[in-house]
Amino acid sequence: MSIFKDGFLEGRVALVTGGGSGIGAGIAKRLAAQGAKVALLGRRPEALAEVAGEIRKAGGTAIETPTDVREYADVEKAVERTAAELGGLHILVNSAAGNFIAPAAQLSANGFKAVIGIDLLGTFNACRAAFSHLAKEGGNIVSISAPQAFKPTPAQSHVGAAKAGIEMLMKDLALEWGPAGIRVNTVVPGPTADTEGMRRLAPADPETQKKMQRAVPLGRWGKIDEVADAVLFLVSPAASYVTATTLVVDGGASLISSTGIVDP
C-alpha cells in the first residue's frame, strides 16, 4: 500500500547514482513506479542495464549512464545526457557508495581516498553538475548516508568521515540552494536486508544475525522499499517545507550499538 497518489512523479526526471544495485536500484524502481523517468548512474554497465530493463518491463522509462562518480567531467556528461534525453532533471538521489572493513591503522591512504572519492566527492560532483537543471523548476536532492556518520564504528573510519561529510554538505547546499527552489535532504538507512553493505558488514553466521536482529528495537532488518519510501516522502509535496533534514530509517538500530551491524 502506498500513501502517495499514484503517478505523483509523472513529468519529473530523476537521476540515481549507484542505481545499479541495492538501495539505489530500489529507489530508482520506486521513483519510476510513481511515474518519474529515471537515469541510472553507476560504474557497472551490466548492472545498470538489468535494473533499467526491469523498469522498462514494468512500463516505466529508464536510461543507463555508466559513469564513475569520482570523475566530474563524466558526471557532467551523464547529467547533460539525462536532461537532453528525458526532458530536464528534477530529482537527484546520491546513493553511490563504497565500503569495506579496515581498521584505520591498517588502512592505506589510497583506500581512505577511494571511499571519500566515491561517497563524498561523488556526491558533490553530482550535485554540482545537476544544480542548473534542478534550479529551473524547483528540484530535490536526497543523499544516502549511514549511521557511521554519527556513531563511531570500528574499522569504518573512512566511511564515517565520508558520510559525515555528506551530511554537512547537504546542510550547506540546503542553505545555499534553498533560494533557488531546491530542497536538500539526507536519508540514513540502518541495517537493510539484501544490500551490498550488509553482505560486506554483517556477520555471515545466521544465528548471530538473528540475535542482532532481535536487539533492534523494531526486531528485524529494514527493507530496501522502506528506505525508498523515505526518499519518496522527501521528494513529494508532503515534504514541501522540509529541507536540510536527516531522516533515519533504521528501526532504532543505531540506539543500541554502533551501526547495528558492525559490532565492536
* Residues facing 142 on adjacent strands: 93, 185
Nearest approach in angstroms of CB 17 to ligand COA is: 12
Q: Identify which range of 3-11, 104-112, 175-183, 235-243 contacts ligand COA by CB under 6 A.
A: 104-112
Query: Does residue 105 belong to the site contacting ligand COA (CB under 6 A)?
Result: no
Site for ligand COA in 173-232 (CB under 6 A): 196-197, 200
Q: Identify which range of 7-15, 111-119, 133-141, 236-244 contacts ligand COA by CB under 6 A.
A: 111-119
Of 70 and 90, the one with the shorter C-beta distance to ligand COA is 70
Query: Does residue 111 belong to the site contacting ligand COA (CB under 6 A)?
Result: yes
Q: Identify which range of 45-53, 93-101, 131-139, 219-227 contacts ligand COA by CB under 6 A.
A: 93-101
Rounded (5°) CA angle 79-84-90: 60
Nearest approach in angstroms of CB 44 to ligand COA is: 9
CA dist 245 and 93 (Å) reads 15
Rounded (5°) CA angle 46-69-37: 65
| Positions in the binding site for ligand COA (CB under 6 A) | 97-100, 102, 107-108, 110-111, 114-115, 118, 196-197, 200
